[in-house]
Structure 1
Amino acid sequence: MKRHSLLALLDAYTPENGEEENMYLDMIEFIRKNPDCFKRTLLEGHITASGWVLSADKKSVLLMHHFKLNRWFQPGGHCDGDPDVKSVALKEVWEETGIKDLILAKEGIFDIDIHTIPARKDIPEHLHYDVRFAFQSDKDQQIAVNSESLDVKWIPVSEVAKYNDSESIMRMVRKTISL
């Protein structure tokens, strides 16, 4: 069963108490109830994967200014049927930033988040069940902006709140400090 590898990753993960812990339990329930959880054709929601890319010294993070949402986020996207969420996160980082040479900053899942994606065109409002991995990269790698972003740049971790102060992002900032 495709979902077992993700459920095993989640079983090895300890979420923060409070909101992330509730999302963790909701994500496990969603995965167990939905065999097609990795496909975006599941209209109520689907699993996504993203990468929190830190500089080698862990003092900066690579964020993209999302074209459709007009906000700064970590790179990530749809699994499109692929249950290997870490590979999906790596692929999304490369596609959205041009960064290829990455190493894990932390084994296993770094963070999880469930967030609502607004309706647009023929796609109803739905949930993204995002599985996040922490990577490290050399800041000297060339960055490439693609059609999904207005900009991509390294931002000092201490200044992330100026770009996006959502709890989802700030939770990863807090976790970065303890890496």
Structure 2
Amino acid sequence: MTPETFALALSDRLARYRAEVASPDEYLSLLAWQIGAGHRLDLRETMPGHVTTSAIIVSPDHRQVLLIDHITIGRWLQPGGHYEPAPAFALSAEREAVEETGVTGLALHPWHREGDLPFVIDSHDVPGKAARQEPPHVHHDLQYLFTADPGTPLVAQLDEVHATRWAPIAALTDFAPKAAHRLAQLT
């Protein structure tokens, strides 16, 4: 996506997400304001926030979730990272997941109906990084749901993650409660 098509696509995904998916207690006003103000949300330098994409990867039976032990944040999370140009936001999330975990056979979950509508949009505070002269800011994380076979080998990208592992699906509630709740409604 070009910066112009990125902005249009993000605006469209946010509008559709609010109309079709979001619950009344989801607050996305900062993201909407930044889009309306013309902020370059595809750039990690944009403050007070910018777009990230992540992959909630579950086993086909929805009993397990693939996690990474994130070096910078120091906790187990879903794979993901800053948006990197791709024809669709889901493809940016998929690329991050494959890079960080080495997972193979990743498939966009049928919930998406082969579309690019996020499963969850989670705007959350993140600490800054002094080494990059980066202040605390907000990640507008577009989360996509994928499936993969937990029996396939994993290879952690050790410059970004300490380890990867499959965990019981209940682990999602610790760091992605909206995704956990939405996933529970599917089963």
Class of the TM-score when normalised by the shorter of the 2 chains: 0.7 to 0.9
Equivalents in 1 of 2:143, 2:62: separation in Å?
Answer: 16
Structure 2 residue ranges without an equivalent (≥5):
none
**Aligned CA-pair RMSD:** 1.8
- Is 1:120 the counterpart of 2:129? The answer is yes
Partner of 2:63: 59
Partner of 2:166: 154
Query: What SS class does the counterpart of residue 132 from structure 1 fall into?
Result: strand
TM-score (norm 2): 0.83
Equivalent pair of 2:49/2:139 in contact (CA under 8 Å): yes
Deviation at 1:30, TM superposition (A): 1.7
Of 34, 37, 41, the match for 1:33: 37
- Is 1:8 the counterpart of 2:12? The answer is yes
May I ask how many residue pairs the two structures share in their alignment? 171
Structure 1 residue ranges without an equivalent (≥5):
none
Deviation at 1:53, TM superposition (A): 0.4
Compared CA separation, residues 125 and 158, structure 1 to 2 (3 A): closer
Percent identical = 28
Task: Give the letter for the 2:13 counterpart.
Answer: L
Compared CA separation, residues 158 and 116, structure 1 to 2 (3 A): closer
Compared CA separation, residues 81 and 37, structure 1 to 2 (3 A): farther
Equivalents in 2 of 1:96, 1:154: separation in Å?
Answer: 14
TM-score (norm 1): 0.87
Equivalents in 2 of 1:144, 1:75: separation in Å?
Answer: 13
Partner of 1:111: 120
Equivalent pair of 1:6/1:84 in contact (CA under 8 Å): no
Encode CA deviations 1:70-128: one digit per residue, 9 max, x unaligned: 11111111114557321110110001111132222221210011111212221111111
Partner of 1:48: 52
Deviation at 1:12, TM superposition (A): 2.1
Task: Give the letter for the 2:94 counterpart.
Answer: L
Equivalents in 2 of 1:39, 1:67: separation in Å?
Answer: 22
